[in-house]
Amino acid sequence: MLVENHSTKTIIQKLDLDGYIHQFEQFFARVKPVAMHGDVNQHYRHIKALSTLQFPEPKEVPSLDGQLARIKKQAVLGLDEIYAFAKIIMYFNALKALELPEPIRSWIGGIEVPDEVMKVLGYFNEEGMINSQIDPELFDIEKAIKINKSAIKEGLYKMVRSSALSDYLVDSQIHFQNGEETILVRGGFNNAIKATVVGRSSGGYFYVIPQKISALKERESELLSRQEEVIYRYCQKISAIFYTWERFLSYVNKEYDRFDHYQARVSFARVREYEFVLPRKEKGVKLTNFCHPAIDDPIPVTIDLNRSVMLITGVNAGGKTMLLKSILSAVYMSKYLLPFKCDAARTEIGHYKQIEAVIDDPQSVKNDISTFAGRMVEFAGLFGKNDAIVGVDEIELGTDSDEAATLFRVMLEALRERNITFVVTTHHKRLASLMGADDDVALIAALYDEEKRLPTYTFLQGSIGKSYAFETAERYGISAHLVAKAKVIYGEDKENLNELIEKSTTLEREMRQKIAGIDEKMEELERKKQQLEVTEEKLYEEQRKVLATLENRYNAATKRAQNALKAKESTEGRRLLNEAHKHKEKTKNKPVEMEKIQLNVGDRIKYRSHKGELIGLRGENATILVDGMKMRVPLSQIKRTGDMPKVVAPPKRKVKVTVEKNNASVSVKLLGMYGDEAIERVDKFLSDALVNGLDEVQIIHGTGGGVLSRLVTEYLNSHPKIKKFYRMPGNLGATIVEL
């Protein structure tokens, strides 16, 4: 948690974020400040990549800065301290075993553990102790300790069941007293047993260790001392290795903190269903459906702060202060990449170097300072800052409102020149009227429901709000008679002005509601349009599959005709050829033409079920890049899905096709081929194999990225003459096809 001067509240306390920060800190593997330093854009890319991954929960480890300082001085670390470093390294090794997305893969993969340090990991068992299996002496000691403990336990149980001691036993239980195993006996027990008293019970009984057991205890103490000596030798040996690799340990310790920052944010966002908003270089705050984490059931805030000053006026207890805190809280959480609830796609938050909140009453009897004087001290401090966003609650607090209005107007204008953005709440309209004509000042009104006589906790931009002081007083218990008398004294002219303000606010609110309704209808029409496009694409794909099936039937019928002609069955051959040509005629029906859209090199496109990029155009054909593989396809079979920056196409690879044939089998190699070339080659290859009466063939497509393998599988699934096909065992990049 960020710490400031103990005499003042921290910014997170002023913004009511202390509970939120405390909940977030529970997701850290070890205690650390919430803020991350470094390139925020790089942090954001790693967090978004990690959000797509299911990763193991990091091991809880203490801060190791002190241990690193001791390693530099060649000190001997304790076993638990050494194991803390081992847990960090083992966790990174576990991450490397996962299918990590970029840029996480490059980062974690770049952490190379030295062989000497890797060897240290093998010294430990799962409990963090030295594995006795690697050291015969330690193995013998641990074995002897187990035998001795068993003897102590067995000896005690024999004694509590002994008839000689039965008259003195209080119970037959084994009691732990000061860490020792004892039995509870009455006075006079020394007539039946020699034992050492280690304590007395509240009932006046004695906890004793029998003399026979004491000898076993001494033996146990001796064995434990020998065990500690062996472990200390290992600590000396490992500490010497750590001294050699101190810089690596310092680096991996720092990277563990970095990963801990990332995983804590991702895990917190998953549990709370929060979203991340990357701060932009441009100033301004645009919130859409933002919910302050301190409010249990908040009304989502949608607001656009695109000016250097935002003046919030309107009803008392209507949420003005919470709006101020929401804007500053969103800036704070975005600045440190902390997730929160909002519509992230429509939320934009600028980056500010500093965040200040002038919220509390600064009056202090101890320092003999008044409320207004305290405010002046706080404002004077702002003149030493720049590139900041400042929230001021009830700016006119503590002095005459008219005098304060002119003073604060001058100060706000001066501070704006220091690139400071202000969010200000006020109950008085004097300051709003003085600054309202400024193009760089945004007016916000907190709204009031006249019928229900309650604040709505919603806001209207571009308007001055009425304070509703009389209505609020009546709502909180002031008699209607007193309120009516106050209205008379207040004066009709000012009340008429308030009514005009309210009418203006009401008209603008109705206009905004109508605009919002039109926007909703536009969004609904856009959704329907997208649904129609998806349906159209599905129908087109189904038509393409039907045409492909008819084409396959034609090929199969042609093959049967050729076989019949070879057998000199000319009549049957002609009949089969006629049947084949009928299937061919069915394929001549052109597919339904989709709306032609101008395609350009660099567009994102979709070909069948594959997405890629258009990298070349020639006549009615196009060259596309799908999963790193070039393909030439008919222009009519691709659809644009969006524009993208041009990417320099890699040089064309030489295509080498080799068809091997012997008496038993035929194989075809597709290595290095374009997707459409490969499918054409496979189609011809299978037709030749069927004509020659082969029962089994082999298609060699390689492993690589798996694109050729996937295309071949899709083609074989649709071929009518394939009995079955399967991959050659061992992932050799070949498919066996039975005809």
Measured CA to CA, the distance from residue 287 to residue 306 in angstroms comes to 11
DSSP strands (E only) in 393-512: 420-425, 441-449, 454-461
Which domain, by its residues, includes 37? 11-114+245-272
Q: Are 321 and 405 found together in one domain?
A: yes
Task: Answer yes or no: is 297 within a domain.
Answer: yes
**C-alpha dist (Å) from residue 123 to 120, 270, 271, 368:** 5, 36, 37, 66
| H or E stretch covering 177 | strand 175-177
Q: Are 338 and 214 found together in one domain?
A: no
For 214-236, what is each residue's pLDDT tens digit?
888 889 899 999 999 999 999 99
Measured CA to CA, the distance from residue 247 to residue 251 in angstroms comes to 6
Task: Answer yes or no: is 320 within a domain.
Answer: yes
Whether residue 167 is predicted with pLDDT greater than 90 in this model: the reply is no
Contact 266, 280 (CB under 8 A): no
Q: What is the mean pLDDT of residues 104-114?
A: 95
Whether residue 653 is predicted with pLDDT greater than 60 in this model: the reply is no
Q: Are 210 and 327 found together in one domain?
A: no
Q: Are 393 and 469 found together in one domain?
A: yes
Task: Answer yes or no: is 229 within a domain.
Answer: no
Q: Are 72 and 151 found together in one domain?
A: no
Whether residue 4 is predicted with pLDDT greater than 60 in this model: the reply is no
Task: Answer yes or no: is 199 within a domain.
Answer: yes
For 704-735, what is each residue's pLDDT tens digit?
667 888 888 888 888 888 888 888 776 667 88
Whether residue 415 is predicted with pLDDT greater than 90 in this model: the reply is no
Provide φ and ψ at 39, rounded to 5°. Answer: -75, 110
pTM, entire model: 0.60
pLDDT of residue 454: 61
Q: What is the mean pLDDT of residues 395-402?
A: 66
Whether residue 91 is predicted with pLDDT greater than 60 in this model: the reply is yes
Q: Are 361 and 468 found together in one domain?
A: yes
**Confidence tier at 662 by pLDDT (50, 70, 90):** very low
Read off the tokens for 575: 């009949």
Nearest to 605 by CA among 578, 570, 631: 631
Q: Are 94 and 191 found together in one domain?
A: no
Q: Are 421 and 312 found together in one domain?
A: yes
Contact 667, 703 (CB under 8 A): no
For 556-609, what is each residue's pLDDT tens digit?
777 776 676 565 545 555 566 666 666 665 555 554 444 456 788 888 888 876
Measured CA to CA, the distance from residue 643 to residue 291 in angstroms comes to 34
**Confidence tier at 366 by pLDDT (50, 70, 90):** very low
Task: Answer yes or no: is 3 within a domain.
Answer: no
Indicate which CATH number applies to the domain containing 703.
3.30.1370.110
Read off the tokens for 428: 């008085």
pLDDT of residue 129: 94
Read off the tokens for 270: 């998953």
Task: Answer yes or no: is 23 within a domain.
Answer: yes
Q: What is the mean pLDDT of residues 73-91?
A: 96
Q: Are 254 and 298 found together in one domain?
A: no
pLDDT of residue 573: 56
Q: Are 25 and 93 found together in one domain?
A: yes
Whether residue 279 is predicted with pLDDT greater than 80 in this model: the reply is yes
Nearest to 723 by CA among 701, 700, 697, 703: 697
Q: Spell out the residues 6+ positions from residue 470 whose beta carbon is closer than 8 angstroms to its own.
A: 483, 486, 487, 490
Collapsing DSSP to helix, strand or coil, 155 comes out as: helix
Lowest-confidence region among 170-174, 292-296, 447-451: 447-451
| 458, 490, 522 - which closes a domain | 490
Q: Spell out the residues 6+ positions from residue 614 whose beta carbon is closer than 8 angstroms to its own.
A: 599, 600, 601, 602, 603, 604, 605, 622, 623, 624, 638, 640
Nearest to 436 by CA among 451, 447, 448, 426: 426
Q: Which residue has the tokens 């109705």?
A: 510
**Chain mean pLDDT for the chain:** 81
Contact 731, 702 (CB under 8 A): no
pLDDT of residue 261: 97
Q: What is the mean pLDDT of residues 260-286?
A: 95
pLDDT of residue 5: 38
% of the chain beyond a pLDDT of 70? 77
Task: Answer yes or no: is 512 within a domain.
Answer: no
Indicate which CATH number applies to the domain containing 609.
2.30.30.30
| 623, 652, 681 - which closes a domain | 652
pLDDT of residue 504: 55
Residues in the chain: 739
Q: What is the mean pLDDT of residues 238-255?
A: 96
Task: Answer yes or no: is 457 within a domain.
Answer: yes
For residues 100 and 658, the model is more confident at 100
* Side chain identity at residue 269, one-letter code: A
* Side chain identity at residue 164, one-letter code: A
- List for the chain the helix, strand, coil content (%; round to 5): 45, 20, 35
Q: 46-50, 476-480, 677-681 — which one is most confidently predicted on average?
A: 46-50
Contact 25, 31 (CB under 8 A): yes
**C-alpha dist (Å) from residue 282 to 234, 275, 419, 657:** 57, 20, 12, 56
Q: Buried (b) or exposed (e) across 547-567, using 16+ Cβ within 10 A?
A: bebbbbbbbbbbbbbbbbeee
Indicate which CATH number applies to the domain containing 424.
3.40.50.300
Return the DSSP state at 511. H
Whether residue 463 is predicted with pLDDT greater than 80 in this model: the reply is no
Whether residue 703 is predicted with pLDDT greater than 80 in this model: the reply is no
pLDDT of residue 367: 44
pLDDT of residue 363: 53
Pairing mode of beta strands 610-618, 621-626:
antiparallel
Q: Are 622 and 688 found together in one domain?
A: no
Whether residue 16 is predicted with pLDDT greater than 60 in this model: the reply is yes
Q: What's the total number of domains in the chain?
A: 5
Q: Are 257 and 307 found together in one domain?
A: no
For residues 689 and 254, the model is more confident at 254
For 151-165, what is each residue's pLDDT tens digit?
988 888 888 888 888
* Side chain identity at residue 692, one-letter code: N
